[in-house]
Structures are given as structure tokens and as C-alpha cells.
Amino acid sequence: MASAPTTCTRARWATAGLWRPAHPLPPASRCGKRCPHPLPIQVIPDWKEQEWDPEKPNAYAGIFHFHFWRFGEWVDVVIDDRLPTVNNQLIYCHSSSRNEFWCALVEKAYAKLAGCYQALDGGNTADALVDFTGGVSEPIDLTEGDFANDEAKRNQLFERVLKVHSRGGLISASIKAVTAADMEARLACGLVKGHAYAITDVRKVRLGHGLLAFFKSEKLDMIRLRNPWGEREWNGPWSDTSEEWQKVSKSEREKMGVTVQDDGEFWMTFEDMCQYFTDIIKCRLINTSYLSIHKTWEEARLRGTWTQHEDPLQNRSGGCINHKDTFFQNPQYIFDVKKPEDEVLICIQQRPKQSTRRDGKGENLAIGFDIYKVEENRQYRMHSLQHRAASSIYINSRSVFLRTEQPEGRYVIIPTTFEPGHTGEFLLRVFTDVPSNCRELCLDEPPRSCWSSLCGYPQQVTQVHVLGAAGLKDSATGANSYVIIKCEGNKVRSAVQKGTSMPEYDVKGVFYRKKPSQPVVVQIWNHRVLKDEFLGQVHLKADPDDLQALHTLHLRDRSSQQPSDLPGTVAVRILSSASLTAV
């Protein structure tokens, strides 16, 4: 590449070219023909001011600037207008129009950000989509998910892909190349392995002609893809010259922009796509604007580091759960799900190591994260395993994403490298429907202060897990019960379990006890419109010497004299320790 001569160009940002390049910028996908996408506006700021104006030639300075999203912020990259050529022809990304250079200039800016042009060879499509949008990428393995054979899962996936596309997200599809010989191998169906095909349109296509089509209302899930080479297309059903197009009216075909050209762009059914392609990457543009008519997400964005230290309490590089002795030394972040059930999007991104990409090879750490459902009142770091609510894959990608649905409660995210001892910076992004109060847990136990000698310092930690109850005082519709766990002025309350005398609460509380001789009280109440009804309680000594972790206890009343049994029992799991870092 060093021997290739360069030419000084005057770039022309033609409006038609801005939205529809003849040769899309690899590996990120481009927009649809009739859908002006926010991506170029963000990546190419003030493009009208940067356009070559023949009426104002003196205004041209020979420089351009672009924006790319890196590690939580839009980075400005400035380049000159000299582009690499061979025999006066652009040798990398180019347009079919000889006086249109915007895609080549964007590529040069992206290469500068990465370190060199060679660093763009191969690469990770999911990372590139994030760089160009600031969104979050979600890779989907179509083969592992068996979407080709599972119609219900395939229909659900299509609706999600349709939603991402309709809200301005970018989507890519590819056929995995297992060996070097497979790379760019053309299949009999016309598809090419190892290419990042851009999904440029997603729609439900109406079949039939005239009024009959409207009354019949038969629709087909279809997508439009584009080969980054700008040529070589799918030759199966619904390809450009396929007879299947006779099932669609002329007006519908015109609306879809169906053309018979070898321009690399083609239609196929979503079922066929799941059959022939192995991977899809959806890059969502997360909407956080309250002025939007679409769903608004609440975003929590925190920066963290994996660091090494000889002191285990200060070490923050413990590796994945396979390394049980050091796992809980990793950074920990707490967040709340405040709805009965909520969809949560979580993404961690490691800071790119630009110096390692100059040889064209990325050296990302293998990263991932686990999510644990913890006590409702947890304020300090975890030190023992609790219920794992979800976990991501571990991969040496710059970003790792997980979409999960979780019930109401408090959760801890533990981002890790796969192996212990690796260091680096990362960005954690958590998206929920309502504010999650996401924050880092920094302290291992309650801090000591000058008041500790006067007010006392905790001598014991106790975790109380109320699993459920049975035989509660019933009514015609069943009890609407909830649990309150009390200890030394602190309390934890569960959600109401409606219409059952055998509720499953699954609620935890953790208490740092200054007076271990005082019992922990577990009360059960029946929720009513005017006044809640007391159903019973139990007192727990919660002694560290009590080796019976699970207790099934009869409910009693609140009489200060001889307590009497009330209908019902409660199942409680208890863990106590004199070591405050045992839970």
C-alpha cells in the first residue's frame, strides 16, 4: 500500500449519494433507498458546509471531519482529501459515480481512527455498527437458535428485526466462514460466505392483486439485503427475475423498489434467510428522548476498570466464575427493576487498544458479565454466590450485549475478563423502562467512623431468605399477602402475592447486626383496601451456630404474653456469620 500513488480529490457529497452509496461502507450497512437515516448526519456532521461548492472555490480547505462513537462519546476525526489510488482508480471503498468521494473519505477517517487501512481488514461487524451509531449491537446465532425450523421463534425474531429497522437501527447478516478457504466462497444459491450483508429493508409484503389482495390480507415476511461487493446476488425464490414476483401487484413491487439489476441488492423471505444465513447482528438505536412517540429507555452509563492489586480486597481483576476464589474481587454494580417484570438491556464495552491494531490484528480481552438477584436492601459488595439471574457470552469482542427480562427486585452485575489478572477499562450501559439507580458497589462492609465506638459497630451479618408460606388464613378469593422482614430498625418488604394461601415470596434481606441477641422478625400481612390484616409472624434468633439453614415455622400472633399459633407456616432460609464479608 505504501507504493500506491495517491491523488488529491475534491469530494462531492451529492445528496442522492449521501443516502444511497453505490458501494456501501464495509462493514457497516447502509440505509434503505427511501429512508433518510440519522447515521450519516451523526457520522458526517455539517455535510452541507463540507460539500464542494463550485461558486465558492476559495472556501474549500482540503480537509474533512467525521464523528465516530468510541467508548461513550462521539470522537471527531479530521483528515485531508488525499485518497489511495492505483492507475488513478480508488483502490478501496468507492462509488459508482466518479465524482462522488464521500464513502472513500469516511473510510479514510475510520482507518485513521483504527490506526491504518490494514486494521479494517476483517474486523468485527458488531463493533463497526456501534462505532457508526452509538447504539448497542446484539449478535444472534441463527443456527444455534434453530430459527429455520422453529416457526414461533422465527416469527418473534422477525418482529424484533422489523422494529429495529423501523426505528432507524442497522442490521447485518452473514454466512459463517469456518476455514480460510471458505472465505468469500460463493454458494450455489448465489450467496457469498464471510460477507457482511446489509439488511436494507424489512417488511410484510402483501400477496395478490387488486381488491382481492386487501380482502385476503395474505402477507409474507420479507427482507432486502445487499452484498457489500455491489454484485453477486441470491438466485433462489424472490430473486430479481424470480416468477414468485407475479404473486405481488405492480404497485406493491414499485413501493418495494424491486429492480432487475445485478447491483448486489435482492429480496428473500425471512424463512429462507434463516435457512441460508448463520448470523444476524441487530444494532439498536436506543431512544432516551422523552419527546419521542416510541418507547423511551432510561440509560445508566458507568465507567470502570479491571485493575490488579496484591490485597484481595482491593484487587479488581478476578476473572470469570470459573475462578471462584477471585471472582467476587471484580467490579460490582447494583441496579433495581421497579416493575413487576421489565426488559433490561445491558452492554459492556472495553476500551479499544489502538496500538495493537496497526498490524491489522485486534487484541481485545475476552469479556462478559453475570447478573445476580440479591437482597432487596443490599448496599455492599457480594462475597458469596446467590441466584444467577442471567449471564452473557464471553468473547474477545469490543462489546458484549444481553437482553433479558427480570422480575422486580435488586440485581448485581459483575463484569469480568475471562481469565484473572487481565487489566483494562470498560464502559457499562444499562437500559431499563424506569430509572434503575445503577451504581457501583465500592465498600465490602459497613464503614467504621468516629461514631462507631459510641453507637456500636456490627458484630454479625445475617441473610434472611423468605421462600414462601402455606396454609394462610383464606378468603373466598385467597389471601393477598406480603412479607416484611424486620431487624434493628431496618426492614425489607416483598411484593403482594395475590389470591393464594400458598404464596411464593422469594424475597431476601441482609442485615448487619449490632445487637445479635435481638431476633429478626418475619411478618406476613394480608393486603386490603382500607387496612391491611396481620396474618402472623415468627422470630428468628439467626445464630451463626445454627447449622439448619432452612426452617419451616408456624406463624404466631403479636401477643407479648404467651403467643398462640395462627393458621399457616412460613419457609425461611437463614445464613449468619461473625465475618461481615461472608455474604
The single residue listed with the C-alpha cell 444467577 is: 388
The model's confidence at residue 211, banded by pLDDT at 50, 70 and 90, is low
Count of beta carbons in the 10 Å neighbourhood of residue 78: 10
The CATH number linked to 220 is 3.90.70.10
User: Whole-number mean pLDDT of the chain?
Assistant: 85
Does residue 123 carry a pLDDT above 90?
no
- Range scoring the smallest mean pLDDT among 112-116, 244-248, 466-470, 546-550: 546-550
Mapped onto helix, strand or coil, the DSSP state of residue 568 is strand
Does residue 3 carry a pLDDT above 70?
no
Q: What is the pLDDT of residue 438?
A: 97
The model's confidence at residue 305, banded by pLDDT at 50, 70 and 90, is very high
Does residue 504 carry a pLDDT above 90?
yes
Question: Is 436 within 8 Å of 301 (Cβ atoms)?
Answer: no
142 and 112 assigned to the same domain = no
Question: Is 169 within 8 Å of 132 (Cβ atoms)?
Answer: no
- What 8-state DSSP symbol labels residue 143? T
Closest Cα to residue 565, out of 525, 527, 538? 538
- Percent of the chain past pLDDT 90, that is, above it, reads 55
Closest Cα to residue 465, out of 370, 540, 390, 406? 540
* SS3 per-residue string spanning 38-56: HHHHHHCCCHHHHCCCCCC
Does residue 355 carry a pLDDT above 50?
no
Q: What is the pLDDT of residue 560?
A: 60
386 and 499 assigned to the same domain = no
- Range scoring the smallest mean pLDDT among 155-164, 176-185, 283-292: 283-292
Strand order, beta sheet including 82-86 = 6-8, 82-86, 89-90
Question: Is 416 within 8 Å of 327 (Cβ atoms)?
Answer: yes
Distance (Å, rounded) from C-alpha 316 to C-alpha 422? 10
Summarize pLDDT for 512-570 with one digit per residue, the tens: 999 999 999 999 999 988 899 999 999 998 888 777 788 999 999 887 666 677 888 99
447 falls within a domain: no
Here the cell at position 127 is 463493533
Does residue 442 carry a pLDDT above 90?
yes
Does residue 229 carry a pLDDT above 70?
yes
Distance (Å, rounded) from C-alpha 221 to C-alpha 241? 19
What mean pLDDT is predicted for residues 418-440? 95
Q: What is the DSSP string of 396-407?
A: SSSEEEEEEEEE
Summarize pLDDT for 161-190 with one digit per residue, the tens: 999 999 888 999 999 988 888 888 889 999
How many structural domains are present in the chain? 4
Distance (Å, rounded) from C-alpha 147 to C-alpha 149? 5
Q: What is the pLDDT of residue 27?
A: 32
452 falls within a domain: no
275 and 368 assigned to the same domain = no
Alpha carbon 75 to its chain centroid, in Å, reads 22
Distance (Å, rounded) from C-alpha 22 to C-alpha 264? 10
343 and 307 assigned to the same domain = yes
72 and 116 assigned to the same domain = yes
Q: What is the pLDDT of residue 464?
A: 95
- Range scoring the smallest mean pLDDT among 32-41, 470-479, 501-510: 32-41
Q: What is the DSSP string of 516-549?
A: TTSPEEEEEEE--SSS-EEEEEEEE---TT----
What mean pLDDT is predicted for residues 424-451? 93
263 and 319 assigned to the same domain = no
Q: Which amino acid is at 249?
A: S
What mean pLDDT is predicted for residues 297-303? 93
Question: Is 361 within 8 Å of 442 (Cβ atoms)?
Answer: no
289 falls within a domain: no
Q: What is the pLDDT of residue 248?
A: 85
Summarize pLDDT for 133-147 with one digit per residue, the tens: 988 999 999 999 999
- Element holding 104 (H helix, E strand): helix 102-114
Q: What is the pLDDT of residue 100?
A: 82
Closest Cα to residue 44, out of 92, 3, 103? 103
Question: Could you say which of 238, 262, 284 is where a domain stops?
Answer: 284
Does residue 356 carry a pLDDT above 70?
no
- Range scoring the smallest mean pLDDT among 206-210, 303-307, 311-315, 455-459: 206-210
Alpha helices in 442-574 (DSSP H): 452-455
Question: Could you say which of 77, 102, 124 is where a domain stops?
Answer: 124
Q: What is the pLDDT of residue 215?
A: 61
491 and 362 assigned to the same domain = no
The model's confidence at residue 256, banded by pLDDT at 50, 70 and 90, is confident
Q: Which amino acid is at 151?
A: E
Cα angle at 581 between 379 and 326, to 5 degrees? 100
Between the CA of residue 61 and those of 11, 57, 64, 309, what are the distances in Å?
11, 9, 8, 51
246 and 315 assigned to the same domain = no
The model's confidence at residue 109, banded by pLDDT at 50, 70 and 90, is very high
Does residue 31 carry a pLDDT above 50?
no
45 and 115 assigned to the same domain = yes
Cα angle at 400 between 396 and 401, to 5 degrees? 160
116 falls within a domain: yes
Mapped onto helix, strand or coil, the DSSP state of residue 101 is coil
350 and 255 assigned to the same domain = no
Query: Which among 80-84, 254-258, 510-514, 552-556 has the top mean pLDDT?
Result: 510-514
Question: Could you say which of 381, 408, 441 is where a domain stops?
Answer: 441
The CATH number linked to 484 is 2.60.40.150
Question: Is 24 within 8 Å of 30 (Cβ atoms)?
Answer: yes
517 and 393 assigned to the same domain = no
101 falls within a domain: yes
- Range scoring the smallest mean pLDDT among 245-259, 383-397, 483-497: 245-259
Question: Is 540 within 8 Å of 522 (Cβ atoms)?
Answer: yes
What mean pLDDT is predicted for residues 223-230? 86
The model's confidence at residue 53, banded by pLDDT at 50, 70 and 90, is confident
Here the cell at position 571 is 419457609
155 and 253 assigned to the same domain = yes
Closest Cα to residue 277, out of 169, 141, 152? 141
Query: Residues 6 or more apart from 60 whose CB is under 8 A from it?
Result: 10, 52, 53
Distance (Å, rounded) from C-alpha 22 to C-alpha 224? 16
Range of the domain at 369: 298-441
Distance (Å, rounded) from C-alpha 321 to C-alpha 392? 12
